[in-house]
A and B are shown apart, each in its own frame.
Chain A
């Protein structure tokens, strides 16, 4: 029985949150990795792109809520999501047109593009704060739990409860659907194949008549979709605050690099590696250990490796280890 309790406690505090967080990171890292593969620079504005898409979704959600439209047990934000994606697409296409295209035509060095993207970051951040303010915004509604801790305990008679939030369920399901769609698109459609070709070898792709501007445009559209979905899911799960999206940048980059920059499968794997390490390292293992170990060995401390404030340090540590020992990432990415 104790063993079962340990497993439930572990799932409740580690597995479920880490899977949800990992899916959000994976979606974010996919966006970073796609931009890296096609446009060949690390996009520092990605966190704020997520914030922008999420912000549009939040605003539309509020509008729907004021009209009395809802999805019943599901959060209204899902209904508003397409509008958020459209808003984000418009923003990214406009940014590309006004800012990035000039440097692409000049064949500027990647580091210049990184600096430019830093400038874009702050413009986007300014816009988001200007429109919605710097504070926490709550926009989730509907049923809070799929399974709440109490019903689980009553159902099974165990001492530990397992709570699965609706947002966590939605996060995982949405992530699976989005990733499946993305891979279908990249591997099966003509446009997707031309994107991969362009990413692998620009000159060869140009020779075979692939229109680079079209590839770039489609990349931005997909990235807008991925970023908005990741941003909204993160906002639903935690809460929407513009500054936290800037801080998400580090775990997202870490995921993309750990998996191998430019490699979509790597981005997903990296997202889960980072999420699981962050959660396991900062989780206080006392409860689980008390169940598993015999009474005499039960720990009297929290058995927490690092305090939760050092989450960032965990992703950074993994990043450093990967950079030191396998700079191309777990799944061979680009190392130009």
Chain B
């Protein structure tokens, strides 16, 4: 079969699966799958940049996604009145001072000759810097967190909440993620490939720890809710006589129609972002730059001998890929209109995206997009399927048996197992994925 036909068919099948869940379950479910599928596809695109183009193994996707979510809060939420005056300047000053300390340490290290004197000075600078930093930082945090802790207790953000301007948070999320990626890339790239994996695993956990514990930043585990949206609100639509009339025309009641309309609006926005990123990724893949990347991936030594700066190119694509994940993270937080740091799990945000890329076809942008939709669909549907399977298995057992109760209760954990199995099976038997690299 002609590859173009085959690929169209694959996309059509996934589309049909989502439509089918719309007919059998509900259209709200189907649209939710579609929206999260679009976001997953963007994450997969970002990881495909890193893995498919350059062979970089990043297991810190969760962290970059969460940073994107932080951007949605910092851009969208209104500034807490009085918070900046109370402690914001202290915190900002402390953070600047921290950065300045690190820069000073780096500069001193460059200026001084190697030896015990340099070590002592470095250590002294770091220790003194740390105590100054804490002396500035702690009172600021205390002051900010004291402001109405039940409702706000954080600095708040820029308060950009008008219509499409909300989407400004998305590129900002990309920038945040890119910054973190740059720091990690500078340290871990150029070393063994495993080191990048371990370093990204670490940074992801730390970003989540920061989000959970720094209440002044985004309220920590108290969560920020009610983030502004780029789409209209359901309640406004239901109060709009024109909308109700139109809904009635198509035979919908106003409540269902308004929820569907909002989800469709999101789907439209997300599709625009996905298409833009996909076009950019395709152009990058087929440009001289993309060919160079693949050449580096396939044989680093040869590429280096041709005069390519392998580490710099790796850093470049690592930052780009992480930025795409950050954009997706900001979009997801906007869609949920809340930031809940407690829900970020490596399984859901790192591993699942990896399964998407590998199953879809690493090195192929369309493959990762397809993988994003397909695996997200499976992820949502495996749970009811697992429960159904367990009920089938345990149907013959006695009604009150402990084993039966345990099996049915454990069905929720089937997801992990299934996704691990899917990854291993694809890697073993079809390592090039559904839509292989050309």
Contact = CB atoms under 8 A, between A and B. Distances in A.
Interface residues of A, number: 49
A126 B351 CA distance: 13
Given A111-B193, A313-B206, A126 B413 contact: yes
Given A115-B427, A120-B420, A129 B59 contact: no
Interface in B397-438: 409-410, 413-421, 423-424, 427-428
A222 B365 CA distance: 42
B188 interface: yes
Given A121-B420, A250-B201, A323-B195, A312 B414 contact: no
A310 B198 contact: no
Given A99-B428, A126-B417, A319-B198, 10 more contacts: A111-B194, A115-B57, A123-B417, A129-B413, A250-B201, A313-B209, A316-B199, A316-B202, A320-B187, A323-B199
Contacts of A247: 205
Contacts of A110: 193-194
Dominant secondary structure at the A interface = helix
B130 to A, nearest CB: 7
Most buried by A among B130, B409, B417: B417
10 contacts: A42-B194, A99-B424, A115-B57, A120-B424, A130-B414, A130-B417, A250-B201, A307-B213, A310-B213, A327-B195
Given A126-B416, A126-B417, A133-B410, A335 B192 contact: yes
Contact of B354 (A118, A123, A133, A327): A118
Interface of B: 55, 57, 59, 130, 138, 187-188, 191-195, 197-199, 201-203, 205-206, 209, 212-213, 346-347, 351, 354, 358, 409-410, 413-421, 423-424, 427-428
Contacts of B192: 327, 335-336
A123 B201 contact: no
A130 B138 CA distance: 44
B194 A312 contact: no
Given A111-B194, A114-B57, A323-B195, A119 B202 contact: no
A119 B425 CA distance: 10
A264 B62 CA distance: 32
B420 A323 contact: no
A257 interface: yes
B187 A324 contact: yes
B212 A309 contact: yes
A120 B417 CA distance: 9
Contacts of B202: 250, 254, 312, 315-316, 319
A127 B420 CA distance: 11
